[in-house]
Amino acid sequence: MASGFFAVLDDIAALMDDVALASKVATKQTAGILGDDLAVNAEKATGFLSSREVPVLWAIMKGSFVNKLIIIPIAFLLQFIFPPAIKFILILGGLYLAYEGVEKIIEYLFHKKEKHAEVIEEVANGETAEADEKTKVKSAITTDFILSLEIVIIALGSVLGKSLPIQIMTVSIVAILATVGVYGIVALIVRMDDAGYKLIEKSKNKGFFNLLGKSLVKALPIIIKALSIIGTIALLLVSGGIFDHNIELVHRFLPHVTEMAKHALYGIIAGLGMFAIVSVGKKLYSLVKK
């Protein structure tokens, strides 16, 4: 009886060792997309009132967990029933990311003054940012869904040769680590200024902690601006990478160009194409509506 119990413990220990090793490999393979995920989500989680940063981030994080709860079983089901469907979904997601990245660039280059005027008008009219906040949270969760999908697919692809229990546990661990790790770091970034102000207050404007506090406060706008740029670039690189890795014809195109340059080019081309399609669609819709 006792020997049977210890045999079960040995089996569990062996399984956990296999899961730990597989998780290490899967995390290493998803490291690149996790970096992009961090940049994109940090950019999307900023730009809110200080009192709303944590609630907004918590809402996005909960949405991210829900995304993964939806994605993981569907990914395993599709892998079993019809594996090509996963590539098709990834490509559609890549088109969305490319569109979002190009839209940000076009908005910055050609509609920056209009956007600024809209913000001034809202403040002048005393309008709340509640509707805008919900829109941004929804956009962040949608983008997270696509990035989460790629993370899950990459993690699943790294353990296809393993048994089903190891696959499920490994993908689940990577998904949890991705969510907690990414949004934990984002939370630290968006609360930098509050930490800085507290250091300044406690140091009574003297000494090292006062200097550190002021540095944190001054650094936050710079970091947010940098994350906005990095996040936009990440959207294009991730989308281009999806096309490169999942479309054979695209993968064979430009064989002598570096991978990062190819991904950026593919992302920009796809984004411009999608932007043109969406713009025409909006104009047609407005004409029909009239």
Q: In the prediction, which pLDDT does 274 show?
A: 92
pLDDT at 113 over 50: yes
Phi, psi of 100, rounded to the nearest 5 degrees: -65, -40
Q: In the prediction, which pLDDT does 124 show?
A: 47
- Write the DSSP assignment of 88-152 as a string of letters: HHHHHHHHHHHHHHHHHHHHHHHSHHHHHHHHHHHHHHT--SHHHHHHHHHHHHHHHHHHHHHHH
Tens digit of pLDDT for each residue in 164-177?
A: 777 788 888 888 88
Q: In the prediction, which pLDDT does 269 show?
A: 93
Cβ distance 84 to 164 under 8 Å?
A: no
Q: What confidence category does residue 74 fall into, taking pLDDT thresholds of 50, 70 and 90?
A: confident
Domain ranges, residue 212: 2-289
Record the pTM. Answer: 0.68
Q: What confidence category does residue 9 fall into, taking pLDDT thresholds of 50, 70 and 90?
A: very low
Q: Could you tell me the two tokens for 281?
A: 């669609």
The neighbour count for residue 120, using CB atoms within 10 Å, is 10
Number of domains in the chain: 1
Mean of pLDDT values over 61-71 = 87
Tens digit of pLDDT for each residue in 171-205?
A: 888 888 878 877 787 777 777 777 788 888 887 77
